[in-house]
Chain A
Amino acid sequence: MNKIVVEGLKYKYPLSDTLALDDLSFQVKEGEFIGIIGKNSAGKSTLCQALVGLVPHFYKGAYGGKVFIDGLEVKNQTIADISLKVGMVFQNPFTQVTGSKMTVYEEIAFGLENIGIPRSEMIARIDYVLDLLKIEQVKDQNPFDLSGGQMQRMAIASIIAMKPDILVLDEPTSQLDPAGSEEVFQAIQSLSKQGITIILAEHKMEKVALYCHRVLLLDDGKMVDINTPGKIFSRGDLEQHGVAAPVYTRVCKELGVRKAGTSEFPVTLAEAESVLRGRKI
């Protein structure tokens, strides 16, 4: 079943002359894990916000085409209604702190209070996300006293606690160290395995290649392609679109080794290893 359907989506921010999103069309099935890649200002964040309804409801501006979430057209719903189905985590963790709660625990409860979750359920969900994102040890601290990485985990936890069917993440690991971002990706993957549909805008290509089922490549607001990581990262024109393939793929391209029986290059460490070990030196 298609969870997200985008048909000919066009969008222009107010006071801007160029289209931020130019005629995008794609479908996402329930439970899929989609990566959105592209250079800076390619439209990744705008696309993410279009899925939650912030585009066009928050910004206004010129909007064309249709976005359906679970069969409901985003343009005709309010952000509050869409936010029950779609959760979104933004790039900057500092501005996602509401500022009205004194502890991390209460901060995570903020969204749950707004959508009317009963107290016992609320406590169970908060405990679950604190554990999932490994931030129990800071649950009584003030949200503003956290490090960037902890704040980012808290921001993700706050959204996951609201149990959306679809989770949209806009560079959720920008403030995290390699070990921290690996942990966050593992947490996101475990949600994906539970059947939650995930849309992730990210610059860390190795992670995108490893975790995403399909990858959407954007350039200047236009969709270049949506396909499996193997197909996307094996494209010859990636650099024209301002994207570098995962380092493993680049090595294998230089060496000219492809995955057995296909025209694709390996995109993950494991694939590259198995292909390269198979070769006689």
Chain B
Amino acid sequence: MKSISLYVDKESFIHDFDPITKLLYILFALFLPLILLSFTVSFISVGVSIVLLMAAGVIRKTIPVFSFVFLVLITVVIIQGLFRPENETILFQIGPLAMYKEGLLYALTITLRVMNIVSAFLILVLTTKPSDLVETLVRKGMSPRIGYVIVSVFQIIPEMMASMSTITDAQRARGMETEGKLSVRMKAFLPLLGPVILGALINTKERALALEVRGFNSHVPKTYLYEEKTHALSKWVQAILLLLLVGAGVWRIFG
């Protein structure tokens, strides 16, 4: 089945780490550059994330994500370079448009921060099964209902898309035009929505019934099929990340 999750099923030491450590790493990558406010730290942080992504063997999967992010960042660079109020030093000029040093430096900061956050998130998203992540969070006290909603989306959306294409085929078999000009396609879309939405509502009711009889609302403490995923080094990695963060904070305040 087509999955809408970005998870890459591979064996690597990054995959072996538990989701909590990866979540902590995101916090670490997010706050360290904010606390230390230096280009070098941001560069190192992005670099570390990218090395980890390569170690996990998922670097190729990051290319589409990064290219989308860059598309957004280019506009930031252009706008900040041209129009930032603090702009003074002209770096170069193209016709009437002048690029300023201050704006470009500021754009570089933003670019690094975004890269930093995106790459840290990608480590979590690409190397953790959504169901593992949610199960860990439920163990830590998240409501199983919210957990169910998050995980089921990954399967039920593709399922709805599949039923949409079945209905499209059925309508086409009865002679409905579904290809050609934009206006034809738009017209073809409307009669599909009724069956898809109504069908989804009915399915939701039946699925709710099925969940009820499988004890979904039971008040008995939940048990789990799999043992909680932990890595021998998890505790150490978590401790080091926290220490580094606290250390950076202390250095920033007193240093």
B215, CB-defined interface residue at 8 Å: yes
Give the nearest-CB partner of B157 in chain A: A99
A98, CB-defined interface residue at 8 Å: yes
How many A-B residue pairs have C-beta atoms within 8 angstroms? Tell me: 113
Cα distance A87–B214 when bound, in Å? 8
The smallest C-beta distance from B220 to any residue of chain A, in angstroms, reads 4
In-complex Cβ contact of B207 among A78, A99, A119 (8 A)? A99
Q: Which of B51-59, B115-123, B147-155, B188-196 contacts A (4 or more CB under 8 A)?
A: B147-155
The smallest C-beta distance from A105 to any residue of chain B, in angstroms, reads 8
Give the nearest-CB partner of B222 in chain A: A113
The smallest C-beta distance from A147 to any residue of chain B, in angstroms, reads 13
Cα distance A80–B148 when bound, in Å? 17
Given contacts A80-B217, A80-B218, A115-B218, contact A98 B223 (CB under 8 A): no
B175, CB-defined interface residue at 8 Å: no
In-complex Cβ contact of B203 among A54, A94, A159, A162 (8 A)? A94
The A-contacting residues of B in range 212-233, CB under 8 angstroms, are 212-225, 227
Bitwise, B8-52 to A at CB < 8 A (1) or not (0) is 000000000000000000000000000000000000000000000
B209, CB-defined interface residue at 8 Å: yes
Chain B residues whose CB sits within 8 angstroms of the CB of A201 once the complex forms:
none
Size band of the interface chain B makes with A: 20 to 34
Chain A residues whose CB sits within 8 angstroms of the CB of B214 once the complex forms:
83, 98, 110-111, 114, 158-159, 162
In-complex Cβ contact of A96 among B131, B207, B224 (8 A)? B207
Cα distance A79–B218 when bound, in Å? 8
Cα distance A115–B219 when bound, in Å? 8
In-complex Cβ contact of A54 among B147, B209, B222 (8 A)? B209
Chain A residues whose CB sits within 8 angstroms of the CB of B218 once the complex forms:
80, 83-84, 114-116
Asked if A98 and B207 sit within 8 Å, CB to CB, the answer is: yes
Give the nearest-CB partner of B163 in chain A: A94
Given contacts A94-B203, A98-B152, contact A118 B213 (CB under 8 A): no
Q: Could you list 29 A-B pairs, sorted by A, with CB under 8 Å?
A: A49-B209, A54-B213, A58-B209, A83-B212, A83-B213, A83-B214, A88-B213, A90-B206, A90-B210, A95-B206, A98-B211, A98-B214, A99-B151, A99-B152, A100-B152, A102-B129, A112-B223, A113-B222, A113-B224, A113-B225, A114-B214, A114-B216, A116-B220, A116-B221, A116-B223, A119-B225, A119-B227, A145-B1, A159-B214
Binding site for B on A (CB under 8 A): 49, 52, 54, 58, 78-80, 83-84, 86-88, 90, 92, 94-102, 105-106, 109-119, 122-123, 142, 144-145, 155, 158-159, 162
